[in-house]
Structure 1
Amino acid sequence: MPSSSEPAPDEPPFVERVLAVVDSIPPGRVMTYGDVAAVLGSRAARMVGQIMAYYGSDVPWWRVVRASGHPAANHEHIALQHYRAESTPLLGVGSSAYRVDLRTARFDPADEDHPNDR
């Protein structure tokens, strides 16, 4: 008998599900690693980070940020280029410690039909 932590036989593996959520984040919006995990019914934010590190190069990885709004470590410069191109709301631009303004840029797939005013 499979454990409750194993996906159902017809459910895609966790890696594929994470990448699908990340691929669904619209330009100019972001989710935290924890947000992505929560959408999948999980609390495995660190696992989402690992998946992004190993498999995330083919999805808009810059749209997944740390809970503080900071981009992935050691990817700040390239992420900033993407944020500027997508008009992502940022705080502290001009400093090396800029971050995404989560209050206005955070994406919630449950609110997709009712986007919040930015």
Structure 2
Amino acid sequence: MGYEFTQAVYDVVTLVPAGTAVTYGDVAELLGAGGPRQVGAAMSTAPAGLPWWRVVRADGTLREDLAERAAGRWRAEGLPCRGGDPERLRFPEARWQPSEADFEALDAIAARLIPKV
């Protein structure tokens, strides 16, 4: 699952619109490959410009150093935070709900991971 998986993760993340978020596990599920840890590893090398702050842990948090940087972006995008904690998103309200067209794009990304026979 080397470079192709990493690129597929980035491609999925670029589809997540402002004001919504997904979990590491959501990305793996949408790809039908890997798991939260593999997605996290891919995100650790995310290129500049990738909206990394839209991908969080299942509890709506990020590592402390990332959460501090993400909080301002979450506020700017209007992402709902849990209680008064600006460093923890509220799910399911924040979760991205892909449209039919989004699912077509996601299927195309996932198809690239299937080995060619």
* CA shift for structure 1 position 56: 4.7
Contact 2:46 2:52 in 1 (8 A): no
Moved >3 Å (runs of 4+):
none
Q: C-alpha offsets along residues 54-80 of structure 1, whole Å, 9 cap, x if unaligned?
A: 125431000000000112442111100
Q: Cα RMSD between the aligned structures?
A: 2.3
The two structures have a TM-score, normalised by structure 2, of 0.75
Which one of 58, 61, 83 corresponds to residue 70 of structure 1? 61
RCO comparison, higher one (Cα < 8 Å, 6+): 2
Task: Measure how far apart 1:99 and its partner are.
Answer: 1.1
Q: Tell me the secondary structure at the aligned position of residue 58 of structure 1.
A: coil
2:112 corresponds to which residue?
none
Select the structure that is richer in helix: 2
Which of 39, 42, 47 does residue 33 from structure 2 map onto? 42
Larger Cα Rg: Structure 1 or Structure 2? 1
Specify whether residues 70 and 106 from structure 1 end up closer, same or farther in structure 2 by C-alpha distance, changes over 3 A only: same
Say whether the 8 Å CA contact 2:21–2:94 is kept in structure 1: yes
Structure 2: runs of 5 or more not aligned: 102-117
Q: Under a length normalisation based on structure 1, what TM-score does the superposition of the two structures give?
A: 0.75
Count of aligned pairs between the two proteins: 101
